[in-house]
Structure formats: C-alpha cells, structure tokens
Amino acid sequence: MKHTHHSEFLKLQSVFIKPAKNAFVSDILLSEQWQELNYLSKPDFDNALSEYTTFHDYFLSNNIEVQTFPFNENVQIDSMYCRDASIATDFGMIICNMGKGGRINEPQSHLEIYKQNNIPILGIIEAPGTLEGGDVAWLDEKTLAVGHTYRTNPEGIKQLKTLLEPKGIDIIIAELPHYKGKSDVFHLMSILSPVDKDLAVVYSPLMPIKFRNELLQRGFELIEVPDEEFESMGCNVLAVAPRQCLMVAGNTKTKKLLEQAGCQVTTYKGKDISVKGGGGPTCLTRPKLRGV
C-alpha cells in the first residue's frame, strides 16, 4: 500500500489530536480565556470532555493510530484545534507561525513532540511570515491550496512555496475575503473540505471565483453547504477515507447532500468542542499519514 501525507481524503492511518482535557484543562482556565480568544460563549468543561470522548472513540473504532499532544503550560485553550500549528508533508513537518496572537506558542509545542517522536522537520515558517494549517488543503498529491487570509500572509505563503515548490509541489493561492475581519477564525478550510479525489464540500458565497473555477476544472463535484448551516460547521467535514466522513451533528441538509453523493456520514455532538470555538473535525485533528 502506498502512503502519503499529501491528501485530505485517502484512508487515514495516523492522526495527532489534543484531547479537550489537555487543552481546556479546567473550568477555571476556560473562564479566563474564552472571551479573549473570541469563542461564541464559554464551553461547558464537563460536556466538552464528554463530547471529546465520543470524538476520540471514532478514530479508535476505525483502527486509526491516534497520537496525542500533551498539556503544555505555554499554550492556551485554542491548542485543541491542532491542525493549525503544523502541516504534514512527505518530506517532513512544516512548523507554522500563527496569525492569531493568542496561539503564537503552539507551533513550538508541536515541534517539541515531533522531535521526541523522531518525526522529521522540513522547515519552520518565521516572522514576519504567518501560516496556519487551516489555510492549506491538498487537492491531490502534487497540489496544495493555500488561503491568503488574516491568519496566513503573503510572506508565509512565500516561505511555504520555497519549501515545497523545489520538491515538485504546485501551490495554488486562494485570495479569501475580509468576511468578519481579523478577529474571526476564517480559514480556507472554513469553506472547503475535500472528501474524495473528485468531491468537495464548499461554501460558495465566500469562495473566490478563480479558485472555485479551478476546482471545477480539476473535475471536482461541489456539495454546496446551505447558508443556515455555514456557521454551525456544515462545511467543516473530515474524510477518514474516500467518502467516509465525520462532521458536527445538526447540519442535516449538508449531511443529506453528502449521503446522496454516496458518502457514509458519522456525526458527533460538538456544541462545546467545535461550535463555540469555531473548530470542526478538520480543526481538531492534525492528520498525518494516509494510505492509497
């Protein structure tokens, strides 16, 4: 079986996560941090732990190797959304530089764990460049899409290109809109979730025309998330295998559209671990290795 890190939809073999208990830590810490980090409201600590147990068990039940990021006193509750601090490639991990001030120490925490596990490092994005993992998505094994957002700036994209283009990777830039401004969590993967080589969940009202046309030209069928399910994470869908998807419960219209496209869809209750902090299942995971 061929394995690659360059996919969002092939069979997931191994994944890093940061359990809620390692990130949220306590009700006291949540009370101290949720407002400054722009959560919709304060997560309920006990309910978050319960939701996360269900989320974690899904990977175990699908025979996916799960590695965890431990508690780290230098990072905040947002560190649960572990996709953002690093990017997996076949040439080693890329350590990001966060565009959100409250998350600035997260990449270093990832770097420490990767070194402890003898996971190679391809490079580190350095200031003034910023790059967050939620702004990148593999369209195929040789093509990486990156969003120019308030979290990922041109210098960060330039450094990403310097690392990957010499290795034959094509970087496609999606120029994303202002939307709710600098304080909002708005990534490329807020509006794009590839779930197979020719199927992607999208929210077209916030998608650049050029980038959307690029997807169509590449043969992607687009599942259009309805307006009323965008804020509730309808567009944030994690594929653990081609057309085998995990998403936040409550997005019934998007779920039905996925099923009509031949997808097997599992949902989890994510009120306190996903919706309040603006991070669905793709945000809660740092997928590592996938298999063909």
Cβ–Cβ < 8 Å for 145, 194:
no
Q: How far apart are CA 79 and CA 97, in angstroms?
A: 13
Run of H or E including 99? none
Q: Options 3.40.109.10, 1.10.630.10, 3.10.20.30, 3.75.10.10; which CATH number does 3-189+270-291 get?
A: 3.75.10.10
Cβ–Cβ < 8 Å for 277, 41:
no
- 253-287 pLDDT tens trace: 999 999 999 999 999 999 999 999 999 999 999 99
pLDDT in the model for residue 181: 86
DSSP structural state of residue 24: T
- 25-45 pLDDT tens trace: 999 999 999 999 999 999 999
pLDDT in the model for residue 1: 56
Low-confidence residues in the chain, pLDDT < 50: none
